[in-house]
Chains A and B, each alone.
Chain A
Amino acid sequence: MGSNLRTAGSLLDLVGNTPLVELPHLTPKPSVRLYAKLEGQNPTGSIKDRVALAMIDAAEAAGELEPGRELLEPTSGNTGIALALVARLKGYSLTCVVPENATEERKRLLRLYGVTMLESPGEEGSNGAVRVALELAEQEPRYFMPFQYANEANPRAHYEGTGAEIAEALERVDVLVAGLGTGGTLMGAGARLRESFPDVVVAAAEPLPGDPVMGLRSLDDGYVPPILDVARLDRKVLVSNEESVATVRDLLRLEGLFAGVSAGAVVAVARRLAAELDEGVVVTILADAGWKYLSADFWDAETDAVAASMERTVWW
């Protein structure tokens, strides 16, 4: 049973321990070393494998889950796909609430994994998926909702996994940059890195949403994930879709790295912060690879048409 160095007993044993690669062609100066943690190399292709496995393991350990139980989760895709793997191997069924304008690849993968998919209004973005899932969980107690936005197992997976792996691999980290979604990566990995490197700057990259995916009726419909404490971030930087895509293209052209849209935003912020240092080490966490965005128009759109081609879709 179990695994040795050469074989794994289960795909779930392959979650985490992702590689950290240097990006020498993208650093703004040779005295600042820029690294990328390739979370796209997890079994379902994203960082969310860590979160999905940790949330289900925690619920099982707490006795909140019994075989056959139905899981429910709001997601723009990656968390759903990760939960689908865990649910399949552990014998749960899964329903995901997904914004109707999530990319086709993500919705297709969810269907192939046998997930029941409910769509939330595209103009409400991820907030809409959260709202619909919370309402459904309230009405239908048969569902168990891990709820990545409020589940402490999410940041803990990054404290014990992502952050610990970086701290073990590098002797110095001056800046950590990750994408801001639920806040789990930044809270967990940030806390772990502060233990090893007390002066580390923990920086969030976040998307500048297009008007069509900001269709909340009022600001009162805004949502701040309960696990996110903005006071524990040192920097929080907006990145336009245009800049994210320009950087995704640079990653491919200069480093041969095929990355997702949020990875472009993260590296864009890392380059800005690296330029502020005289020397040091900047670590980025790249949540996924480009595969699940391949049908998008932005890959070969002219630069001035990129923003318009992206503003109706939820990318993160």
Chain B
Amino acid sequence: MSRIRIPPQLRGEVGGAREVPAEGGSVRELLDDLLSRFPALRHQLVEDGDLAPFVNVYVEGEDVRTLDGLDTPVENGSTVILLPAMAGGL
């Protein structure tokens, strides 16, 4: 079991929860588990079978796009964070 942190924009789709538990050994499996329970999230998170362009997913604080994407392994007990892509820029 791992925990997925939900950004404010998506909490309405998960009953207001900031964090949702999910099962899986990879980011893909965790998201599949999440989407099976909250199918309304799918169009926000997934596009053409890959992560939607404005969604960032972090496993233990590292962006999966610089790891193995949806195939990035997730150890049991990890924290996975979903965030919207934000402009920074000082």
Contacts and interface: CB of A to CB of B under 8 A. Distances in A.
Contacts of A316: 88-90
Interface residues of A, number: 50
Contacts, number: 114
- Tell me the dominant secondary structure on chain B's binding face: mixed
A236 B8 contact: no
Given A209-B86, A238-B58, 10 more contacts: A75-B89, A125-B87, A126-B87, A216-B9, A216-B84, A223-B87, A224-B54, A233-B66, A237-B61, A287-B90
Interface in A55-90: 74-79
A211 interface: yes
B87 A181 contact: yes
A46 interface: yes
Interface string B43-73: 0110000001111001001110110000000
Contact of A149 (B54, B62, B87): B87
Given A236-B63, A237-B62, A221 B84 contact: yes
A218 B89 CA distance: 21
Given A214-B7, A217-B9, A224-B85, A236 B90 contact: no
A211 B61 CA distance: 17
Interface residues of B, number: 25
Interface of A: 46-48, 74-79, 125-127, 129-130, 148-149, 179-182, 206-209, 211, 214-225, 230-231, 233-239, 262, 287-288, 316
